[in-house]
Amino acid sequence: MKGLRKIVLAASVTVLASAGLGSAQADEVVRIGGVGNYGPVMPVLAAQELKLFEKAGVSVEFTNFKGGSASMEGLAAGEVDLINFFPPGHALAQRRGVKATIVSAGTLTPRGWHIVVGKDSAVSSLKDLAGKKIGVTSNGSTTDFFALWVADQAGGEMTRVPLGGAGLVPNLISGNVDAIVAYPPLSYKVLGAGDGKSLVHLGEAMTPNLPDVWIASDELIENNPDGLQKALVGLYSAIVHMQNNPDWSIDFIANKTGLPREIATEEYNNTFKGLSPDGNLTEDWVAESLKLGTLAGIDDLPPADSMFTARFVPVTTIEP
């Protein structure tokens, strides 16, 4: 339940001597938030299905949000403790007084993210988008920051139009926008259906910039570091299991998202195989991500080394 912690009965603890992780305590409830059908977040659901959180000795509650910005709002409101988001968005939240810290990496480059134009569009390069409209999910979202990068590469202003995830493709098809920032698996669906064509694959065009990271509230880090560590063990153990078991993973993706198996396979090969297996991250990667914030006119960004901690990584994983 949002905003409320569940009580974990002490009698239900499981000793994990072989993993050296100890047992779940009443204060080791971690509330995770994110977009449930977004590739880097889905391992949370996989970890629940594989009972990896339970094996790691932690109780996890998952809240599904409509987007990264909504996830950050949930963290700021104290509804969740750990979310998947983007460093520049995190920097904006810090400016508003949200006390949170990046604790691990999701993906290093935006694999599977595409700038998509209409199937009959005459646009053939990023420079052709100068002065045009580009669809994003919401203001301050990861799609919004990537649109700013596109405008910078195009060498001219663009109008960023917030459409919500569900509105991106319909507005592209109708011609209300000239391009969209398409994230996986939406990008695979629109390109596979022939409703648009890729102008650029951001996963290949951009340097490592941490398009998604895991961000914990400072309260969780200070008051329940063991619970956080165990939650990360469950999460990254699910990632490693999925990377080592493609058939199980593709079935899982298809079942959870309703995607056709061929699209689920593409999601697996492009997104899941590119997820960090241990959460490790560097200051340089965080700094590169924050450069996108400067494109949004944020001139007082916090230094990269103040936005993350390497205390909890690399994560040592366990098997189901």
Is the pLDDT at 1 greater than 90? The verdict is: no
Is the pLDDT at 83 greater than 90? The verdict is: yes
Residue 252's pLDDT band (cuts 50, 70, 90): very high
Per mean pLDDT, which of 10-24, 173-187, 288-302 is the most reliable? 173-187
Is the pLDDT at 19 greater than 90? The verdict is: no
Q: How far apart are CA 301 and CA 303, in angstroms?
A: 6
Domains of the chain, with CATH numbers? Answer: 10-109+209-306 (3.40.190.10), 114-205 (3.40.190.10)
Q: How far apart are CA 112 and CA 191, in angstroms?
A: 11
pLDDT at position 162: 96
Residue 62's pLDDT band (cuts 50, 70, 90): very high
Q: What is the pLDDT averaged over residues 313-320?
A: 98
CA end-to-end span of the chain, whole Å?
26
Q: How far apart are CA 301 and CA 33, in angstroms?
A: 25
pLDDT at position 16: 33
130 token code pair: 């100068």
Q: What is the largest CA-CA distance in the chain?
A: 65
Residue 4's pLDDT band (cuts 50, 70, 90): very low
Q: What HEC string does the chain produce?
A: CCCCCCCCCHHHCCCCCCCCCCCCCCCCEEEEEECCCCCCCHHHHHHHHCCHHHHHCCEEEEEECCCHHHHHHHHHCCCCCEEEECHHHHHHHHHCCCCEEEEEEEECCCCCCEEEEECCCCCCCHHHHCCCEEEECCCCCHHHHHHHHHHHHHCCCCEEEECCHHHHHHHHHHCCCCEEEECCCHHHHHHHCCCEEEEEEHHHHCCCCCCEEEEEEHHHHHHCHHHHHHHHHHHHHHHHHHHHCHHHHHHHHHHHHCCCHHHHHHHHHHCHHHECCCCCCCHHHHHHHHHHHHHCCCCCCCCHHHCECCCCCCCCCCCC
pLDDT at position 297: 73
Q: Which of 77, 70, 64, 81 is nearest to 29 (CA)?
A: 81
Lowest mean pLDDT among 41-55, 233-247, 248-262, 285-299: 285-299
Average pLDDT over all residues of the chain: 89
Q: What is the pLDDT averaged over residues 256-265?
A: 92
pLDDT at position 134: 98
pLDDT at position 17: 31
Q: How far apart are CA 92 and CA 141, in angstroms?
A: 10
pLDDT at position 299: 74
Each residue of 104-144: pLDDT tens digit?
999 999 999 999 999 999 999 999 999 999 999 988 788 99
Is the pLDDT at 66 greater than 90? The verdict is: no
Residue 67's pLDDT band (cuts 50, 70, 90): confident
Each residue of 152-192: pLDDT tens digit?
999 999 999 999 999 999 999 999 999 999 998 899 999 99
Q: What is the pTM of this model?
A: 0.82
